[in-house]
Amino acid sequence: MESKILWSSYSLMFLVFCSGAAAYDALDPNGNITIKWDVISWTPDGYVAVVTMNNFQMYRIITSPGWTLGWTWAKNEVIWSMVGAQAIDQGDCSKFRSNIPHSCKRNPAIVDLLPNVPYNQQIANCCKGGVLASMGNDPSAALSAFQVSVGSAGNTDRTVKLPKNFTLIAPGGGYTCGPAKIIRPTLFITPDRRRITRAMMTWRVICTCSQFLASPKPTCCLSLSSFHNGSITPCPSCSCGCQNSSNCVMKTPHGNVPKKVNKPVLRCTKHMCPINVHWHVKSNYKKYWSAKITITNFNYRFNHTQWTLVVQHPNLNNATKVSSFAYKSLMPYTAINDTALFYGRKSYNDVLMQAGAKGNVHSDLTLEKDGKTIALKKGWAFPRRVYFNGNPCVMPSPESYPYLPNFAGTR
């Protein structure tokens, strides 16, 4: 009975989660990516702007190969030069004779540079290969920036025309962007903190995650086990695709297979998900119980940097001990305080390594039961929802959960 109810509330959440153009994510109500253009100087035929992208989302990160930012110029603007990023396509610059612009496209698509570019092509917070951490796991890395010098454009705050039709594309997740809006000019404080300067003009664009544009194919699944029952409840078969003779490998590939980040090399499994989250109920005492979370990477060609894991469980408001992962309550001040964000500790396990012996991270949780909480009856000890890097994990059906006897005595 209880598990049926849980199951239907879980499917309902699937619909609510980041759906439609005006996405609303109940677990991250203010989550957005804010793109700000600060005009830092006017030039004879346009302006120089610093563009910053702030990922204000709590747990959605942008992974390698990174973001692509696009827009449509209002008139016939060109990009003279860029620092810290580049336009993918120069477009048709044939009407320019001597000084050739960086891009003449009406709708340029911009990508970040890689970390190893020469210093004279970098600005602060650029050149991360388009990878953005989330506000929840690392606010200092949830920021990307580049500088653009625009020509054939207005060069006063009255004549400048804002770019239109912004698009933000990220691996596995599309974003919908609103129109550019002029806001109060940004203030900059000099490094010695003794002087404040201000942008000539500032506008901003807000982008929210759009399930509509995101890939509908799951990339993660959940499996379960319990100390009470020797059987493991596996991920549902074909959770992320079905195994066939050409889409996976049986064991670690040898040699220098060309690295195509976009083309995963998956280990063959019945679920065919690149990520498996396993929840094991380890022990159950009168006042405390514990669980072990293991995240396993099945992709031989991808390291997940700054991964995030979101788990909803009614008892996560009372986690008293969490080993090896960093942990925070996702909505600490609301009535529904049952969802936790887990992420790796810096230079310890914040990179989930490619598939193989090192391709997993794990943590032990100790949770305190409150007096009213029923013993660990069927299904109660298992999470209600799990997201890896913001993508929902496919759950086993509640009927297949390992059976936990009602009396749930101590070990």
Ligand X SMILES: *[C@@H]1O[C@H](CO)[C@@H](O)[C@H](O)[C@H]1NC(C)=O
CB of 368 to ligand X, least distance (A): 5
Pick one of 116, 246, 256, 410: the residue that binds ligand X (CB under 6 A).
246
DSSP letter (8 states) at residue 90: -
Cα 347 to the chain's mean position, in Å?
A: 19
Pick one of 14, 96, 285, 403: the residue that binds ligand X (CB under 6 A).
403
End-to-end CA distance of the chain: 27
Pick the piece of the chain touching ligand X (CB under 6 A) from 73-81, 117-125, 332-340, 389-397: 332-340
In a 13 Å sphere around the CA of 329, the CA atoms on its Cβ side amount to: 16
- Partnered with residue 142 across adjacent β-strands are none
Examine residue 56 and tell whether it contacts ligand X (CB under 6 A).
yes
Q: Which amino acid is at 136?
A: G
CB of 392 to ligand X, least distance (A): 19
Pick one of 223, 225, 354, 363: the residue that binds ligand X (CB under 6 A).
354
Classify 348 as helix, strand or coil. Answer: coil
Pick one of 152, 167, 305, 360: the residue that binds ligand X (CB under 6 A).
167
Q: Is 20 left (phi over 0), alpha (psi -120 to 50) or beta?
A: left
Q: Which is nearer to ligand X, 152 or 329 (CB)?
A: 329
- Partnered with residue 220 across adjacent β-strands are 275
Pick the piece of the chain touching ligand X (CB under 6 A) from 150-158, 182-190, 313-321, 384-392: 313-321
In a 13 Å sphere around the CA of 104, the CA atoms on its Cβ side amount to: 9
Distance CA 85, CA 111 (A): 6
Pair of tokens at residue 345 = 């500790």
Pick one of 90, 122, 318, 366: the residue that binds ligand X (CB under 6 A).
318
Examine residue 201 and tell whether it contacts ligand X (CB under 6 A).
no
Classify 172 as helix, strand or coil. Answer: coil
**What are the backbone angles phi and psi of residue 60, rounded to the nearest 5°?**
-85, 120
Cα 383 to the chain's mean position, in Å?
A: 20
DSSP letter (8 states) at residue 361: E
CB of 142 to ligand X, least distance (A): 11
Pick one of 81, 121, 229, 360: the residue that binds ligand X (CB under 6 A).
229
Site string for ligand X, 271-310 (x = CB under 6 A): ------------------------------xxx-------
Pick one of 9, 165, 215, 237: the residue that binds ligand X (CB under 6 A).
165
Of residues 83 through 142, those in contact with ligand X by CB under 6 A are 107
CB of 18 to ligand X, least distance (A): 13
Question: Which contacts qualify for 98-104: CB closer than 8 Å, 24 or more apart?
Answer: 101/151, 102/78, 103/78, 103/79, 104/78, 104/79
Pick one of 8, 11, 34, 215: the residue that binds ligand X (CB under 6 A).
34
Q: Which is nearer to ligand X, 200 or 261 (CB)?
A: 261
Distance CA 219, CA 241 (A): 9
Q: Which is nearer to ligand X, 364 or 368 (CB)?
A: 368
The closest alpha carbon to 382, from 273, 272, 284, belongs to: 284
Q: What b/e sequence results for 234-269 when a residue is b if at least 16 CB atoms lie within 10 Å of its CB, and e otherwise?
A: bbbeebbbeeeeeebeeeeeeeeeeeeeeebbbbeb
- Partnered with residue 145 across adjacent β-strands are 52
Q: Which is nearer to ligand X, 70 or 154 (CB)?
A: 70
Examine residue 353 and tell whether it contacts ligand X (CB under 6 A).
yes
CB of 99 to ligand X, least distance (A): 27
CB of 224 to ligand X, least distance (A): 10
CB of 301 to ligand X, least distance (A): 5
Which positions lie near ligand X, rule CB under 6 A?
30, 32, 34, 56, 70, 72, 107, 165, 167, 206, 229, 231, 241, 244-247, 301-303, 317-319, 329, 332-333, 337, 353-354, 368, 370, 401-403
